[in-house]
Amino acid sequence: MKILLTGASGFVGRLVAEALKELISENLDLVEVSRSHSERTFQLGESIDLRNQNFDMVINCAYDFKQTTLERSLTVNLEGTKKLLENSKAANIPKFIQISSHSAHQESLSIYGLTKQAVDDYLKTEEGTRIFRLGVVTSDTSEGFIGAIDRVANKFPVVPVPNANSILLYETPYSSLKYALELEINNLLGDKCYNVGKAKIYTLGDFIKMRNPGQIVISIPASLAYRAFRFGEFLFKNFPFRSDSILSIIAQAPLKQYEFIG
């Protein structure tokens, strides 16, 4: 099976690549591309010629976080995804899998959530597409949003968490992501859109305490956390949190509107 994976250098992209290599250990031809890939560079908005290469599937993990306005984000991420799908269709690739997020929501307060929802809405109208909505992605590595919080929790006994008792989430462990990909590879999925992960819903505070037993979590106003993150982004180039991520998790879509797999 030959698969094109975009966004392969990102946290989720690397997990998808790892899962595919475990699932299709012998007959996998995985072509990994990303903006920072050492050999095959690709970023949304570019045209990529996929014709006569016999791809069976495109998995799109690419997303450009650098855009600071919704208009610019839609231009890069939505229009870029459209172009990638057009390139896929021109090559007669039968499957296009979009890696989305539970933050995708028409009433989201964040650029990320609104952009992801716009991409999802577009892909729902196209044939041959599937959308995997990931929750809080966890793995053995200390990456991603929760990984950053875990690193703080390992250093301090008390962790301030925005709206700890009201923000809801579900977990997408690596095993759930791998299972969803396995179902897709074996043509066992029928719906257009799925939540990938465990169906149990947590508050953000309870989830952090579950991962870090004995941790004391103090709920702080999300508006205060947003200002602090903005200040941190201004001061430090590699600040571990994005202020937009706070807005992503404040206003969310109903978490059980799609079937859970994993």
Give yes or no for residue 186 having a pLDDT over 70. yes
Banded model confidence at residue 54, pLDDT cuts 50, 70, 90 = very high
Looking at the chain, the whole-number percentage of residues with pLDDT higher than 90 is 53
Q: What angle do CA 98, 102, 103 make, to 5 degrees?
A: 105
Structural domain containing residue 26:
2-261
User: Quick check: pTM over 0.85?
Assistant: yes
Least confident span in 17-31, 71-85, 215-229:
215-229
What would the pLDDT profile of 119-142 be if each residue is shown by its tens digit? 999 999 999 999 999 998 988 876
Count up the domains in the chain and report the number.
1
Q: What is the CATH number of the domain that holds 68?
A: 3.40.50.720
Lowest-confidence range among 11-25, 26-40, 173-187, 224-238? 224-238
What's the pLDDT at 249? 63
